[in-house]
Amino acid sequence: MSDKNSSNAMWGGRFASGPDAIMESINASIDFDKRIAVQDIAGSIAHSAMLAKQNIITETDAEAIKEGLLIILSEIENGTFEYSKALEDIHMNIESRLKEIIGEPAGRLHTGRSRNDQVATDFKLWTRDQYDAIIEGLSELMKALINQADEGAEIVMPGFTHLQVAQPVTWGHHMMAYVEMFARDRSRFSDARARMNESPLGAAALAGTGFPIDRHDTAHALGFSAPSANSLDAVSDRDFALEFLSASSICATHLSRFAEELVIWSSAQFKFVTLSDKFSTGSSIMPQKKNPDAAELIRAKVGRITGSLVGLLMVMKGLPLAYSKDMQEDKEQVFDASDSLMLALAAMTGMVSDMKPNIASLESAASSGFSTATDLADWLVRDLGMPFREAHHITGALVAKAEEKGCDLPDLSLKEMQKVNEKINVDVFNFLGVQNSVASRQSYGGTAPKQVRMQIARWREVLS
């Protein structure tokens, strides 16, 4: 029997002739949805076992179906399974092959379900696996950042606003900022995973089925928390894919922000960090170059991932209930975004694990740009009892004087400071060094090494 005739046979007697080449090409999804083959087989095994328990099919047929599906799974894993575009999708490819292996019992597998709930179930199972993989990937990245923070809890560096030196911070504090950021990503994926964990299987085409199926049984067998409560919603819902893409887009944005800093920090102008050769490349013409290509490519991934989110949002925005063929366009977006995000996470984890902070450059930069001006204003308020606005004005005048002399605030003499305000005394010098500055930031969540180590300990416990 030809592929075209096989396709017609699967559809029954409704169509007298097969689709022409253009329709076959636009209708077929096997080139990409074969990625959910393992999930399709798992769903079918659970479904057939439930049908037998409910006496809808015989135990003998259910066992034959299971054995046939396991043979197909082995063929797929061994690379010997032959995919047919004429059979449209992975579901029809597997069912057709099952019929070749076990004959008539294969036709009983589809009792009490539709391709609508079948594909929704398979896609949910696949996406759930990706949620788990990304949560694990984020955990590994957070651990790498925590290790960097631990080793650099007392290394001072400039903190920036508007990319201008603002106040001294510690390397550990900066690394832990990204731990918090990626922790929110991890939480988003976890929350979305819990929300999506309802089984569509048994919703059938849109209205449920007249067969006495047990949807709680199949939901339990597939690791879902419960069956979906409305059959119309079950087959038309793609929120789980949209939430996956949304969380992925936010996560990719965070990765891109960090990648941007690594690109800047590794430049000859900054020299804040040295990236390993494993995550850098050379130039074809300039022998001195060491390019942070891995960071740049991570930075680019956010466009691709966010594009997938926008693409699927546009597919779903005007669809009436329940299933429309438009929804065949859901998977490629999620597949591509998942591949891109997993690669970006692995690359960033690798870079973070073996990058080296350049302590001398960081400390030198931390002392530049009058970074301790706020400490001086705080001292005037705290020790001399000045209103903050007056302290702010005096500090500004001292900054102007230091700028005029071409020196930093700690390099001004006490006599020069007292010309601006006679109340200033020698104790001021205890608060102007960058080390003194970071040590004083003891508020919860502050940059002081003691506070950083508290956060490190907290996150090590969470991730353990």
Residue numbers annotated as active site = 162, 283
Residue among 102, 121, 88 nearest 11 (CA) = 88
Q: How far apart are CA 47 and CA 40, in angstroms?
A: 10
**Chain CA centroid to CA 461, Å:** 22
Q: Which helix (DSSP H) or strand (DSSP E) does residue 393 occupy?
A: helix 388-405
Task: Report whether 49 contacts 41 (CB < 8 A).
Answer: no
* Residues in contact with 116: Cβ distance below 8 Å, sequence separation at least 6, in sequence order: 203, 204, 205, 206, 235, 322, 323
Cα Rg of the chain (Å, integer): 31
Closest CA to 37 of 117, 116, 95: 95
Residue by residue, DSSP assigns 317-334 as TTPPSS--GGGGGHHHHH
CA atoms 194, 181, 177, 399: torsion sign:
negative
Residues 6+ apart with CB under 8 A from 112: 47, 51, 56, 202, 204, 209, 211, 213
Ramachandran bin of 111, using left for φ above 0, alpha for ψ from -120 to 50, beta for the remaining angles = beta
Q: Provide the CB-side half-sphere exposure for 403 (13 A, CA).
A: 10
| CB distance 146 to 176 below 8 Å | yes
* Lookup result for tokens 């494993």: 278
How far CA 175 is from CA of 152, 157, 353, 440, in Å, comes to 9, 12, 12, 19
Q: What angle do CA 322, 324, 327 make, to 5 degrees?
A: 110
Give the phi and the psi of residue 367 in degrees, each rounded to 5. -85, -5
Question: Does the N-terminal peptide bond of residue 322 adopt cis geometry, omega within 30 degrees of 0?
Answer: yes
Dihedral sign computed on CA atoms, order 358, 360, 364, 367: positive
Segment holding 160, helix H or strand E: strand 156-161
DSSP secondary structure letter of residue 269: T
β 226-227/198-199 pair status: parallel
Residues in a beta bridge with 227:
199
With the CA atoms of 115, 26, 85 and 33 taken in that order, what torsion angle do they form, in degrees rounded to the nearest 10? -50
Beta bridge partners of 357: 273
Q: Which residue has the tokens 């976890």?
A: 190
